[in-house]
Amino acid sequence: MYELYNSIPEPWKTLLKDKTSKLNIISTKLQAQPYIPSQDLIFKALIIPPQEIKVIIIGQDPYPNPLHACGPAFSVPASVKNLPPSLRNIFKELHSDLGILNTIGDLSPWQSQGVLLLNRVLTTSPNTSLAHDTLNWQEVTDEIINIILPYDPVAILWGSKATLLSSNFSPEKTIISSHPSPLSARHSFFGSKPFSRTNQILIQSNKQPINWQT
Catalytic residues: 61
How many angstroms separate the Cα of 95 from the Cα of each of 1, 89, 92, 191? 42, 10, 5, 11
End-to-end CA distance of the chain: 33
How many angstroms separate the Cα of 91 from the Cα of each of 2, 35, 94, 133, 174? 37, 27, 5, 27, 20
Q: Does residue 185 sit in helix, strand or coil?
A: helix
Strand partners, 176: 157
